[in-house]
Amino acid sequence: MKRTLDSLEGQPLEGERAWVRVDFNVPLRDGSVADTTRIVASLPTIRWLKDRGCRVILASHLGRPKGQRKPEYSLRPVVPVLERELGAPVRFLEDPVSEAAPQETRRLKRGEVMLLENTRYYPGEEQNDPALAEAFARLGDFYVNDAFGSAHRAHASTEGIAHLLKPAVAGFLMARELEFLLGALAEPARPFVAVLGGAKISGKIDVIEALLPRVDAILIGGAMACTFFAAQGLETGKSLVEPDRIDMAKELLERGGEKLVLPEGVTIARELSPDAEIKDVRPDEIGPDWAVYDIDENASDQFIKRIRNAKTVFWNGPMGVFETPPFDAGTVAVARGLAVATEQGATTIIGGGDSAAAIAQAGLADRVSHVSTGGGASLELLEGKQLPGVAALDDV
Ligand code: ADP
Ligand code: MG
């Protein structure tokens, strides 16, 4: 168990500089923030520190400037959003590693907030350079990590600095992620059902391997199902299949036995377009000119029955090309199934960027137990890997 922000309650925090790694890797459009979700999500941690009189120093990466000061990746557009949300001025520190920078942070008044420029403007960030971690550390007195989505990378602002500033604790967002992804899934209430989909099987083999011994069933949708169909010797037409993973899929089918559940039916079309002619067929009826773009209604019902029956559900990867209706139908149906299971008392957890987008698009994000903010990080946790950014935090 990792130490969380709560544990600092009652400590003399007034005037202390809290160095907070947040995830402000937000989409920008025409120089302003196009989606403020991630900024809003970090507010509970920021407000908690502000209310206790801390000087709050916020740091994040944005995009991939690859160690260069590229203006299109500046975090400056986040400042007005933060100011609006907090109802207070927010200072911006152009060069967090300059000699004057520590003095700038000391000049903050109690409860004031400062945002540092993009951590990835410095090549040392992704190299976890100790010198950069030290320069960063001069700007704070203790460390809070609230950037779960970056915790699977050992970078100067996520790992290196956590050894230098103590205490080093998990912020509220991070704590919630760990509670669900480690807590709920480590000792899941049963039946425990995983739903996996998305574009590729290759990136998710390790997840399937790690989940197999722990779950009661893995329901497979998305293009991933097609590689399994190919492993069963079925015609998959123009579907997205990974030929070099067919053997692995065969092996998983053997090992998984009845735990691996493939869709009973699929929605196929000859082209990926909203007004393409579509057919719902059994997996052994896919014609050579056709491609699978979704699970069909039969398969949705098949999956929903399992989901409603479950006490713990983990979902990663859409069931079809949800970006192009009508091929969103299977994904929306499964999302509804998760909402119903949640109402009935199941713990339901969603991981993965596209899956999170799909559940938001269906308007059901607040009807499941937890939507993880970290795609890669949540999968790595499930695979049983240690996340360097989490491992470096203080143990309870
Ligand atoms: P996540 O981000 O939730 O981990 P992935 O990135 O693995 O999910 O997969 C999401 C993508 O998978 C979506 O862009 C979706 O269009 C695609 N996808 C799902 N089913 C299919 C399919 N049958 N054929 C092609 N692409 C698919
Ligand atoms: Mg994705």
Question: Tens digit of pLDDT per residue, the chain (396 long)?
Answer: 899 999 999 999 999 999 999 999 999 999 999 989 899 999 999 999 999 999 999 999 999 999 999 999 999 999 999 999 999 999 999 999 999 999 999 999 999 999 999 999 999 999 999 999 999 999 999 999 999 999 999 999 999 999 999 999 999 999 999 999 888 778 899 999 999 999 988 888 888 988 999 999 999 999 999 999 999 999 999 999 999 999 999 999 999 999 999 999 999 999 999 999 999 999 999 999 999 999 999 999 999 999 999 999 999 999 999 999 999 999 999 999 999 999 999 999 999 889 998 999 999 999 999 999 887 888 888 888 889 999 999 999
The pair of structure tokens assigned to 64 is: 């991939």
Q: Token pair of 352, please?
A: 């993965």
Report phi then psi at 304, rounded to 5: -60, -40
Same domain, 166 and 195: no
- Say if ligand 1 is within 6 A of residue 224 CB: no
Looking at the 3D structure of the chain, how many domains does it have?
A: 2
List the one residue out of 149, 150, 145 whose CA is nearest residue 172. 145
> How many A from CA of 210 to the centre of ligand 1?
21
Token pair 């149906």: residue: 333
Q: Whose CA is nearest to atom 16 of ligand 1?
A: 321
Does ligand 1 have an atom closer than 6 angstroms to the CB of 375? yes
Q: Is 302 a member of any domain?
A: yes
Tokens of 276: 């393409």
The three state secondary structure string of 245-306 is HHHHHHHHHHHHHHHEECCCCEEEECCCCCCCCEEEECHHHCCCCCEEEEECHHHHHHHHHH
Write down which residue in 134, 153, 175 finishes a domain. 175
Beta pairing partners, 315: 195, 350
Query: How many Å lie between the centroid of ligand 1 and the Cα of residue 355?
Result: 8
Please check whether residues 171 and 192 belong to one and the same domain: no
**Please, which residues bridge with residue 219 across strands?**
195, 261
Cβ partners under 8 Å of residue 387, min gap 6? 151, 152, 377, 380, 381
Q: Which residue has the tokens 């996996």?
A: 196
How many A from CA of 159 to the centre of ligand 1?
Answer: 31
- Ligand at minimal distance from the CA of 356 is 1
Helix, strand, coil fractions of the chain, as percent rounded to 5 = 40, 15, 40
351 lines ligand 1 (CB under 6 A): no
Is residue 388 domain-resident? no
Does residue 176 carry a catalytic annotation?
Answer: no
Kindly state whether residues 89 and 19 are assigned to the same domain: yes
* 384 catalytic residue (yes or no): no
Q: Are 377 and 352 in contact (CB under 8 A)?
A: no
Is 392 a domain residue? no
CA–CA separation, 395 vs 4, rounded Å? Answer: 9
Output the pLDDT for position 380.
86
Q: State residue 202's pLDDT score.
A: 85
Q: Identify the domain boundary among 150, 175, 200.
A: 175
133 and 161 in contact (C-beta within 8 Å)?
yes
**90 plus 227 within the same structural domain:** no
Q: Residue 165 in contact with residue 142, Cβ under 8 Å?
A: yes
For ligand 1, say whether the CB of 188 is within 6 Å of any of its atoms. Answer: no
320 lines ligand 1 (CB under 6 A): yes
Q: Are 156 and 129 in contact (CB under 8 A)?
A: yes
**Do residue 159 and residue 209 come from a single domain?**
no
Read off the amino acid at residue 207. V
- Three-state DSSP class for residue 21: strand
- Do 142 and 10 fall into the same domain? yes
CATH number at residue 93: 3.40.50.1260
E strand intervals along the chain: 17-21, 28-29, 32-33, 55-59, 90-93, 113-116, 142-145, 168-170, 192-196, 217-220, 260-261, 266-269, 278-281, 291-295, 312-316, 347-350, 370-371
Q: Among the three residues 175, 208, 229, which one is the final residue of a domain in this structure?
A: 175
- Secondary structure (3-state) at 280: strand
Q: Tokens for 4? A: 């969380």
Q: Which of 354, 378, 381 to mutate to test the pocket of ligand 1 (most atoms within 8 A of CB)?
A: 354
Q: Rounded distance, CA 366 to CA 48, Å?
A: 23
Catalytic residue among 259, 353, 375, 385: 353
Domain that holds residue 262: 188-382
Q: Is residue 145 part of a domain?
A: yes
313 and 366 within one domain: yes
Give residue 177's pLDDT: 93
Question: Which ligand neighbours the alpha carbon of 352 most closely?
Answer: 1
In a domain, residue 396? The reply is no
Residue 394 in any domain: the answer is no
Note whether residue 257 is domain-resident: yes
pLDDT for the residue numbered 307: 98
Bridging pattern class, strands 312-316 and 347-350: parallel
Q: Which one of 15, 63, 237, 376 is the catalytic residue?
A: 376
- pLDDT, residue 205, reads 85
Report the distance separating Cα 350 and Cα 82, nearest Å.
Answer: 27
Residues 224 and 321 occupy one common structural domain: yes
Answer yes or no: is 390 within a domain: no
| Residues 76 and 169 reside in one and the same domain | yes
Q: Tell whether 137 and 196 lie within a shared domain.
A: no
* Pair 162, 265 in one domain: no
Shared domain for 355 and 238, answered yes or no, is yes
Residue with tokens 């896919």: 286
